Amino acid sequence: MESHNNMADFYQEHFESYYEKTAHIDPASFLEPLARQLSPGARILDIGCGSGRDMRWFKERGFELRGFERSTGLAGFARRHSGCEVVVGDFRYYDFRTMPADAVLLVGALVHIAHREVPGVLSRVTAGLKPGGKVLLTLKQGDGVHRDGFGRLFYLWHDTEIRGAFEHLGFSILDYRVQTSKVNADDTWLGYVLAKD
């Protein structure tokens, strides 16, 4: 729990630099696989919406967006950057049944969540997903845990480790791809588009 609080402190204190680092990256390569699975005007919930970059991309393509972000500073930037509503809260405790959606975005949102906690968190944050709804989830690839220069812990995954959790939670995989990070060339991301069975 302490490590998660440290993560929260980082994003509360460094929200401006995080925004500058992430807001202007073209997200098309990792968002298009989800967009292709959605009906026009679908309602999307972006959890851990950060800079609002991905909400803006989907909104420009006619989708309906709402964001969820723990950092109040980032939430403010996300509102301005995307023009979308952003709820401030902690996704580990929020009741997402009150936020129905056709799709849930989890782009990098679970990277600071311990491996054993991810299935429970994934179940919670998709509680408002409609039957047949879709999820875009990205996780960092690798072994174990990595601590960066700011002291943030990143929990790393292999494809074979996470697939069992998807099946257990009643999700099928519609799309899977591996991509190099656009922020740090040393990072590799696993991307999944899931359907709620």
Contact 119, 169 (CB under 8 A): yes
Q: What is the per-residue pLDDT for 23?
A: 52
Q: At 77, list the tokens.
A: 């930037």
Q: What is the per-residue pLDDT for 22?
A: 59
Q: What is the per-residue pLDDT for 15?
A: 47
Contact 82, 67 (CB under 8 A): yes
| Euclidean distance between CA atoms 190 and 161, whole angstroms | 12
**CA 11 to centroid of chain Cα atoms:** 15
pLDDT in tens, the chain (197 residues): 444 445 557 556 654 554 455 556 788 999 999 999 999 999 999 999 988 999 999 999 999 999 999 989 889 989 998 999 999 999 999 999 999 999 999 999 999 999 999 999 999 999 999 999 999 999 999 999 988 777 788 899 999 999 999 999 999 999 999 998 777 778 899 999 999 98
| Euclidean distance between CA atoms 142 and 162, whole angstroms | 12
Residues forming beta bridges with residue 127, ordered by sequence position: none
Contact 116, 161 (CB under 8 A): no
CA-derived radius of gyration, the chain = 15
| Euclidean distance between CA atoms 61 and 59, whole angstroms | 5
Residue type, 46: D
Q: What is the per-residue pLDDT for 17?
A: 53
List of domains in the chain: 2-196 (3.40.50.150)
Number of Cβ within a 10 Å radius of residue 116: 8
Q: Is 149 exposed, middle or buried (0-12, 13-18, 19+ CB in 10 A)?
A: exposed
| Euclidean distance between CA atoms 178 and 139, whole angstroms | 10
Residues forming beta bridges with residue 100, ordered by sequence position: none
